[in-house]
A and B are shown apart, each in its own frame.
Chain A
Amino acid sequence: MTGPIPSGIAEIGLVPGSHVCAFYRGDADRDRLLSGYLSAGLTAGDKCICIVDSARTAKRLKALPGARAEPGPADGQLDIHLPGSTYLANGEFSTGDMLTFWTEGMLKAELEGYSFFRLAGEMTWSLRDVPGVGHLIEYESELNRVTSSHPVVVLCLYDLDLFSGEVVVNVVKTHPQVLVQGILVENPYYIGPDEFLKSASI
């Protein structure tokens, strides 16, 4: 699969390997984005892996049409996780651990017969005062390396009511695509992982 696939958000198409950063305001806006994005994946038969920041949101997503299919090939099509078992496993954030989490998830799904993956992460966990959250932008940059080598699209969700303009700027600088108010802004000049690591070490 090389052509654009429906994102499920405002009729935007995404090419495989897209790592999109989406900015929104408030829970309702987040739910709208996530529901559209995951529903499109479930409809297309993609393996969907999603990390949300509250059990309440997880419960809502589990009620999506198709998420609770009858036992069979499609069973377990949607995996929903919370930060405690993913981003902040072991009580701290580790870029390497998270990239491994995503990679293993995709490999496992591939073994189950899925050929395309749709990943999503609600990033509000990074506002907590825990070790490693300072590596957020580095992680976002490194994630580009993973997406470039898998049949996958990734959606990172940032709440504008909670994140500062500085985070927005840095996220835009490290993401090839940014979704703002239903507009997909391409950034061909994004900072790749190697360059980011180099500039960070200067």
Chain B
Amino acid sequence: MRAEPDSTADESTRRRLGEFRALMVISLLMTESVSEDQIMDLAASSAPGLGPWRIDGYSFTDSGWRPGLAGSAAPPPCGLARQLAVLGDLSGQVEVPGRGWAWAYPLRGIDGLLGHLVASCDREPPAEQRFAIQVMAQQTGVAVSNARLHARERATAAELAAANAALAETVSSLRRNMDIHDRLTRVAVSGEGQTGIANALHELTGMPVVIEDRYGNLSAWAGPGRPEPYPKESFAKREQLLRRLKRDGKPVREGERLTVLASPRSDVVGVLALIDPEHTADKADLVALEHGATVLSMELARLRGIADTELRLRRDLVHDLLSGTDDDSALVRAEALDYDLRRPHRVVIAEVKGRTRAYDSLLSAVRRATRQMHLDGLFDAWSGNVAMVTAGQADWEQLRRAVASYVGRQVEIGVGGLCARPSELPRSLREAGLALRLQKTLLPGTGACEYPKLGIFRMLAAIPDLTDVDRFVREWLGSLLDYDQRRKAELVHTLTQYLEHGGNYDATAAKLSVHKSTLKYRLQRIRDLTGLELNDPDVHFNLQLATRAWGTLQALERER
């Protein structure tokens, strides 16, 4: 059983001792509190239980007056600040209007004087109660000082926590960036190509990823939701997007896509995009996207480099084949380019009529036309024209028409004979060139000219010594050639066309673009100058042979 109240102490002493016990408990409660307001409210609200005095308020050196209980709007007693300034860090009497007794007690903390506690009573309280007020002031000062210290420590701890959180976020961000860097670098060096880049970016962001070429064609897709068929925007809209991506130089949001440009050089363009309909992409996703664009740029540059190199090697090979090279070397180089040169090949030459510096568009047109006709071959520039070495057999006139339609101008084509070995290709080149020239001079409008089908022209061109041929031409056409030279006339050409058209006046006049009477006049002039009767079969044969021989000589002359 608990002890009975101490009967040895008289009531008054016991009451005072009980009050000090209560004061001690109040002190304990103030000490454990970390709130200044809580401490001051507890002290002020305790006073009525300890005696007839009250705490009017607290005057702090740094924050000024604070009424005894929070929420009270009681202003500081008039002139209090001046009186406290006189007191300094001592206690002493102060004037509080309407109160018989008022006293200011210093509030001291670890860092020195915090301010004063002002207590008052209707009349001066007895000594033991003044002692209780003094103890209350001392305990309040210590508790407020502790609370401020705690507040500072909490603030410091909060700052540290914030700094740690910021640091942790930075570390996390760096780690994520490193992961992004590592993953995409692995893709870059592993040769996984555009599909690998799309897959890696999808793994890093969790979003579907698309890679397109400059025209909006799909190059790679990773993740779910790939549209079938793949949509393609208009040329104008695409160009607008590319211009914006180039101008901004950073990811651009276009509807549900976050898009960035990958362009290692002006003529190589790729577009990389995250499909983000919910707009959930964060900073790390953007870093991954931009890093992905860098890796894609490297990949596109690599691919273009390979293409350029292969193109250059192919051109070098074609050039050497046309100029003359040994079979073994040519076959090895062709094999390196994955091209089968062991098949019989021929040379085909295409020329744009009346236009210079049209090589690029002509080459592009020839490539396109050959692709369309499923012809494979090697291409190069040759004397301003395009030379193709091909194993294919085609309707060369169809090829000529296709090329002409792509170029938008008249195109002539000469086709050389087949060669069993690469070292023979210079012959095919000469034949193609000869066919081209004969086509232009003797056979205009006859379409693509194939050397193997040139008949007598081919026989004449094959004669090693042309002295007798030349003499034969002079014998039959000498007077006309001299006349043409003297008078800048076209009698030989007129005669040639007349004979090639079997003596048909209408067809010949149409071919020469002259009136029939002009043709008849010219033919009469030819009869007069040569003294020959054109209708005589023997004369007709010899004149036709002579005109064809003349054309062949002309073509061979230009070859030299």
Contact = CB atoms under 8 A, between A and B. Distances in A.
Q: By DSSP majority rule, is chain B's interface helix, strand, loop, or mixed?
A: helix
Contacts of A170: 22, 49
Instruction: Indicate the member of A23, A147, A166, A195 with the most B CB atoms within 10 Å.
Output: A166
Contacts of A168: 22, 25-26, 29, 42, 46, 49
B2 A164 contact: no
Contacts of B17: 189
Contact of B49 (A147, A160, A173, A195): A173
Interface stretch (B8-16, B368-376, B430-438, B536-544): B8-16
* Interface band, chain B: 20 to 34
Contacts of A166: 45-49
Interface residues of A, number: 33
A164 B40 CA distance: 11
A147 B1 CA distance: 9
Contact of A191 (B15, B24, B26, B44): B15
B1 A148 contact: yes
B14 A189 contact: yes
Contact of B45 (A15, A17, A165, A190): A165
Contacts of A160: 29, 42
Contacts of B5: 176, 188-192, 195
A142 to B, nearest CB: 14
A120 interface: no
Contact of A189 (B18, B43, B48): B18
Contacts of A177: 2
Contact of B21 (A15, A172, A192): A172
Contacts of A195: 5, 11
Interface in B338-369: none
Instruction: Indicate the member of A19, A180, A195 with the most B CB atoms within 10 Å.
Output: A180
Contact of B22 (A2, A147, A172, A176): A172
B256 to A, nearest CB: 48
B377 to A, nearest CB: 88
A11 B14 CA distance: 30
Nearest to B17: A189
A183 interface: yes
A169 interface: yes
Contacts of A165: 26, 41-47, 49
A181 interface: yes
B19 A173 contact: yes
B528 interface: no
B2 A169 contact: no
A178 interface: yes
Interface in B14-58: 14-15, 17-19, 21-26, 28-29, 32, 41-50
A187 interface: yes
B18 A190 contact: yes
A185 B25 contact: yes
30 contacts: A23-B29, A147-B2, A148-B2, A160-B29, A165-B44, A165-B47, A166-B48, A166-B49, A168-B29, A168-B46, A169-B19, A169-B23, A169-B25, A169-B46, A169-B50, A172-B18, A173-B18, A173-B19, A180-B32, A181-B28, A181-B29, A187-B21, A189-B5, A189-B15, A189-B18, A189-B21, A191-B14, A191-B15, A192-B4, A195-B5
Interface of A: 2, 15-19, 23, 147-148, 160, 164-170, 172-173, 176-178, 180-181, 183, 185, 187-192, 195
A-B interface, 3 closest residue pairs, ranked by CB to CB distance from nearest: A165-B46, A169-B49, A165-B45
